[in-house]
């Protein structure tokens, strides 16, 4: 029996472990959702807005080229890995070499991806942008 006011060391360890696991769980809830990849190369320009979408689509490497007077032409292949049709929305913006936005952010565009099929997000800059950023979400 312990003297009055003393607590078992195992009780303190249990409370500390519980608090630490809670802090770590909350810390893991921040930051963008990284889409599933078909390759080992990450595509930092493409962001998903929900974890549930991550298990429904695969994002392939963006195909980027220059057209016209140096405009950036971007195609992002998206594969639906579910048995039902998906309706997605995407929004994009163009950036300069330092990462600053150089054109207005686009509105939300709709993309239909049939079950177990592939579709492509496609957009072109108006200026000679250096990079791009694209956000994909499920149509509400």
Whole-structure pTM value: 0.70
Query: Is residue 98 in a domain?
Result: yes
Residue 119 covered by a domain = yes
Structural domain for 130, as ranges: 36-138
What is the tally of structural domains in the chain?
Answer: 1
Q: Please report whether residue 79 resides in a domain.
A: yes
Interval 132-138 mean pLDDT: 94
For every residue of the chain, DSSP letters joined together read -PPTT---HHHHHHHHHHHHHHHHHHHTT-SPBPPEESSSS--TTEEES-HHHHTTEEEPPPEEEEETTTEEEEEEEEEE-SSS-EEEEEEEEEE-TTS-B-SPPP--EEEEE-TT-EEEEEEE-SS--SEEEEEEEE--
Is residue 8 in a domain? no
Residue 131 has pLDDT above 60, yes or no: yes
Q: Write the CB contacts of 40 (distance below 8 Å, at least 6 apart in sequence).
A: none
Q: Report the CATH number that the domain containing residue 126 is assigned in CATH.
A: 2.60.40.3230
Q: Is the pLDDT of residue 78 over 90?
A: yes
| pLDDT tens digits along 12-62 | 666 666 665 655 555 555 566 666 655 434 688 999 988 888 889 999 999
The answer as to whether 21 is a domain residue is: no
| Residue 1 confidence (pLDDT) above 60 | no
The pLDDT tens digits of the residues spanning 93-114 come to: 999 999 999 999 999 999 999 9
| 50 vs 121: CA distance, rounded Å | 18
Looking up tokens 């979400």 gives 137
Task: Kindly state whether residue 114 falls inside one of the protein's structural domains.
Answer: yes
């Amino acid at each position: 029996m312990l003297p009055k006011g003393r607590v078992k060391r195992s009780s303190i360890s249990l409370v500390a472990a519980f608090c630490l696991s809670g802090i770590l769980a909350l810390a893991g809830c921040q930051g963008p959702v990284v889409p599933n990849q078909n390759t080992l190369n990450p595509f930092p320009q493409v962001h998903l807005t929900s974890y549930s979408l991550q298990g429904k689509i695969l994002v392939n490497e963006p195909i980027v080229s220059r057209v016209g007077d140096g405009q950036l032409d971007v195609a992002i292949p998206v594969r639906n890995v579910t048995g039902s049709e998906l309706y997605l929305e995407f929004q994009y913006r163009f950036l300069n070499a330092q990462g600053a936005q150089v054109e207005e952010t686009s509105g939300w565009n709709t993309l239909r991806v049939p079950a177990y099929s592939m579709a492509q997000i496609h957009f072109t800059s108006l200026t000679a942008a250096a990079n791009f950023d694209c956000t994909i979400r499920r149509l509400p």
